[in-house]
Structure 1
């Protein structure tokens, strides 16, 4: 008797639409968690290391693919859950589909920009234009000539999120990305211009710069980051204050700013030891003398 009552109660309980909806939502949540873990493991194994310049490039590509794949799977999963829940609640999906068809025609006329965003996002992903963790400048979607710059925090098929140096999060539609400048793709260059006095011996300046570049390459902090040591490139220009010389080196992506800063510091000290004066801004000041006649009163 008790067993039959319990069985009947359980049957009624699971026939309750609200309980079924809760159960479906719980199962969907667990499926999402499992699918996210599966996607990460699958992508990590599928992406081949020999296609990339470095391990960092490989990880960036993996993170980007994982991020987008997870969003796509989640969208399909929850869209399916929505349809199942609506069916359980007794909503006529056929009538809903008819209404959605009419709405879709109207919506489609105004959704051209959204379609453009998704297509652009697809090409960004497949062509590996930039990855999560890259430092990029997107010229579109802004009224400034400099564009929108920052570290790529998130990429979806519709938008890209960039975090700039001030910590501001900028969201750019992929269809408005415009010209994409990727500062961390494959390698980066260190370009340093230094001004020295006109009396300086350029041969000595060149020797000092090249030695500093060699010393930095030997430094254990930079050995894995510098691929080509910084060295004297050419005399760049003559200015009012002195001679500008240019140095050039090749480094791992995103390390150019740190290395360039330390290179300037070291070169300044080395030039001082070699009695090479840095260029100083000079100004010629002309003064006009005024002569006043003094008339004595008698």
Structure 2
């Protein structure tokens, strides 16, 4: 004798509920396992990078100190992005499975979604471009919070926030810029790796450059031996000698490799000390051109 319709419907709903609950539990289990795997892989990457840094030479270790935090931040950001993608994929799969269990026709829904997706895609091309650009910039570590960057040869400033759609940076004047990631076609980063302090010293064109060069070497060697600057320099400063000449002055140049964005302090201190030492040694400053000289030029 066939079961009453009400009993069949009740049994069908119970079976559907069981399938839905099992689907959700399996999705949660898969998410937990994959999220744990992502965390473990991220931790191994950070630990491996730290171990490599400790085995490097002292100079390379000092140069890489700032990049360790950057590497960890990039790894964590990438892990967060992967978890978000994982959540979206699992939610879509669970929703489609539940709708299929409940008997919702999938073919018309998928067709409508495809047509709607194409329409939305044409209307949101710039938004998709922004997000894709943001994903690549984060994964490739093109820049990070605290970096000093220049965008499209127009905007420069220190990065305050890196998002998947918009990057926020503050210019030296204090102006805050919000730049869509999809609009970034050229990017210069002065905070990655190392920086170079350029020390240019002008002396009178008739002065002998040899004593001035010797004084520059002495001052820079003394600075390189001080603990304050040993934490900044990653190589011994080099005095290159005469860089250029004109009718008024001879320009001497020295360079020093420093940690990223640390060149300005060393450069200012070196200029001050060398200028004082040259004055004490009696080495002439360049003559200031008069208005008549400038008019004649």
TM-score normalised to the size of structure 2? Answer: 0.67
Question: Quick one: distance in 2 between partners of 1:61 and 1:41?
Answer: 11
Structure 1 runs not aligned, ≥5 long? 1-30, 140-145, 287-298
Aligned-residue offset at 1:136: 1.6
Give the structure 1 partner of residue 52 of structure 2: 50
Displacement after TM superposition at 1:205 (Å)? 1.0
Instruction: State how far apart, in whole Å, the 1-side matches of 2:257 and 2:69 are.
Output: 21
CA distance in 2, matches of 1:45, 1:93: 49
Change (3 A) 1:136 1:243: same
The answer to whether the aligner puts 1:216 opposite 2:223 as a matched pair is yes
Alignment equivalent of 1:147, drawn from 151, 154, 179: 154
Higher alpha-carbon deviation: 43-52 or 202-211: 43-52
The 5 A counterparts of 1:186-265 are 186-265=193-272
Of 70-79 and 124-133, more deviation after overlay is shown by 70-79
**Once the 2 structures are TM-superposed, how far is the Cα of residue 203 of structure 1 from its aligned partner?**
0.3
Whole-Å separation in 2 of the counterparts to 1:55 and 1:124? 22
Q: Which residue of 117, 127, 131 corresponds with 1:118? A: 131
2:182 equivalent in structure 1: 175
Q: What RMSD in Å do the two structures reach over aligned CA positions?
A: 3.7
Query: Which structure has greater helix proportion?
Result: 2
Residues 147/64 of structure 1: CA separation in 2 closer, same or farther (3 Å cut): farther
Which residue of the partner structure matches residue 63 of structure 1?
73
Per-residue deviation at 1:183? 1.0
- Structure 1 residue 83: Cα displacement: 11
The alpha carbon displacement at 1:73 in A equals 3.8
CA contact (8 A) 2:74 2:141 kept: no
Q: 2:117 aligns with which of 92, 104, 111?
A: 104
Deviation at 1:272, TM superposition (A): 0.8
**CA positional deviation for 1:104:** 2.3
Contact 1:197 1:241 in 2 (8 A): yes
* 1:187–1:250 contact (8 Å) kept in structure 2: yes
Distance 1:150 1:49, change over 3 A: farther
Report the counterpart of residue 293 of structure 1 in structure 2: none
Distance 1:269 1:105, change over 3 A: same
Shift of 1:275: 0.8
Post-superposition offset of 1:105 = 1.8
Give me the TM-score of the superposition, normalised by structure 1.
0.67
Closer, same or farther in 2 for the Cα pair 1:133/1:42, shift >3 Å?
Answer: farther
Gaps of 5+ in 2: 1-31, 54-59, 99-103
Q: Which residue of 2 aligns with 1:137?
A: 150
Q: Distance in 2 between matches of 1:262 and 1:127?
A: 35
Contact 1:117 1:159 in 2 (8 A): yes
CA distance in 2, matches of 1:54, 1:149: 24
Q: Is the contact made by 1:64 and 1:155 (CA closer than 8 Å) also made in structure 2?
A: no
Q: Matched residues in 2 for 1:150 and 1:259: separation?
A: 21
Deviation at 1:101, TM superposition (A): 4.6
Q: Which residue of 1 aligns with 2:13?
A: none
